[in-house]
Amino acid sequence: LADLTRELPLFAQRAEELRTRAETIAAAARAASALPAAAKRLREAETELTETKNGLAELTGSSAELGEELGRVKSMLDQLRREHAEVEAGLPRQEADALSATRRVSDLESELATAPLTPEQAALDSERSREQLEGEHIVLEEQLARFSEEEQSPAIVAEVADQEQRLQRAQEMVAGKRELLDRVEDVAREAKRRYDGHVRQTIDRLNASFREICERADMKGELELRPSLTNDEEFALEARVALNRGDARISYLDSAHSGGERAKISVLLLLAAMSSEGAADLLVMDEHTAHLDSNNIDVLGELMRTLRGHVQFILATPANAEALRLDWADHELIFFKRQEGEHYAPPIQILTREPEYQPPLDERQLEIAH
């Protein structure tokens, strides 16, 4: 206990030292914790200092430029002062000139007021007043002011006038061409109208012949002119045929007709065209009896016989029994096949029939014939 009593002051002193040291350490710790913020503020201060230096340099440069600009302004001001002095010096003379010009204008106006007008001026003055002319003059000046000086030059104005003349001549030429085109179109329309009329008349005659041919063949037939389905400027010819008198007429292209019936209708159309007025008088057909039965061959033969008065037929048929049906022909040429081993075929045989007997004319008939 005595030892503890002796050491107690030492412990108290030691504790005080430790407390002081702890406070020192705490202060150092607080200072250390505040060090980053202080370093940041230091960097910001350095940045601001750098910017301030840069701004100062820019201000220095701007100050130099302002000095130069101030020098130029002073020079311009001195020039303006000199010009102002010159204007003030010449002002009395200009005032005197203006006064003289004013008096001269007054004198001219007085002379103009007392001077007699020419007939043209009097007519113009009676038509339009001075106020109207001045108004028109102002309007013209305003219109002229919209154009640049280059556009107002005499060369440009002359070129524009020349272009207007060329344009007018071109328009007149176009009008003349349009008038010519209208006349050509009128002629073309008239020619088309006449052509259409001629076609219709021709088809009407052909239709009459076709109906007659069909009647002779114990059939019914007609031709109809219709507008073309592919071209508005053209026509289409429709042939409608009834093979029996009691049947309805249908198109010869209809599938109801057999191949032989179509061949028969085609030959009938050909015969109708040959029998029309103004048609050709020579018809050449190759194997016209093909696809036809015996009855139709006889019908066509009879029709050809009736047309032999104004149509000449040249028919090519095989040498078979059907050839015997051509007994109405005036001449028959018979061709033979070349025999094996022979260089040429046998000569062509010509069969000529005697004309039908016609009694001689009596005296009265001879007089009529003469």
Q: Is the per-residue pLDDT at 357 higher than 80?
A: no
172 vs 128 pLDDT, higher one: 172
For residue 164, name the pLDDT band (cuts at 50, 70, 90).
confident
For 194-369, the fitting CATH number among 3.40.50.720, 3.40.50.2300, 3.40.50.300, 3.30.360.10 is 3.40.50.300
Rounded to an integer, the average pLDDT of 156-183 is: 78
For residue 86, name the pLDDT band (cuts at 50, 70, 90).
confident
Residues 228-254 pLDDT 10s:
777 777 778 888 898 887 888 888 888
Q: What percent of the chain has a predicted confidence (pLDDT) above 70?
A: 75
Mean of the per-residue pLDDT values of the chain: 76
pLDDT at position 131, please? 66
Does the predicted model carry a pTM greater than 0.75? no
Q: Is the per-residue pLDDT at 23 higher than 70?
A: yes
Q: What percent of the chain has a predicted confidence (pLDDT) above 90?
A: 0
273 vs 130 pLDDT, higher one: 273
pLDDT at position 331, please? 80
Helix/strand/coil (H/E/C) assignment for every residue in the chain: CHHHHHHHHHHHHHHHHHHHHHHHHHHHHHHHHHHHHHHHHHHHHHHHHHHHHHHHHHHHHHHHHHHHHHHHHHHHHHHHHHHHHHHHHHHHHHHHHHHHHHHHHHHHHHHHHHCCCCHHHHHHHHHCCHHHHHHHHHHHHHHHHCCCCCCCCHHHHHHHHHHHHHHHHHHHHHHHHHHHHHHHHHHHHHHHHHHHHHHHHHHHHHHHHHHHHHHHCCCEEEEEEEECCCCCCCEEEEEEEECCCCCCCEECCCCCCCHHHHHHHHHHHHHHHHHCCCCCCEEEEECCCCCCCHHHHHHHHHHHHHHCCCCEEEEECCCCHHHHHHCCCCEEEECCCCCCCCCCCCCCEEEECCCCCCCCCCHHHHHHHC
For residue 155, name the pLDDT band (cuts at 50, 70, 90).
low
pLDDT at position 362, please? 65
Residues 312-349 pLDDT 10s:
888 888 776 666 677 777 787 888 888 888 888 888 88
Residues 175-184 pLDDT 10s:
878 888 888 8
For residue 146, name the pLDDT band (cuts at 50, 70, 90).
low
Residues 287-315 pLDDT 10s:
877 778 888 888 888 888 877 777 788 88
Residues 221-234 pLDDT 10s:
999 888 777 777 77
Domain ranges of the chain: 194-369
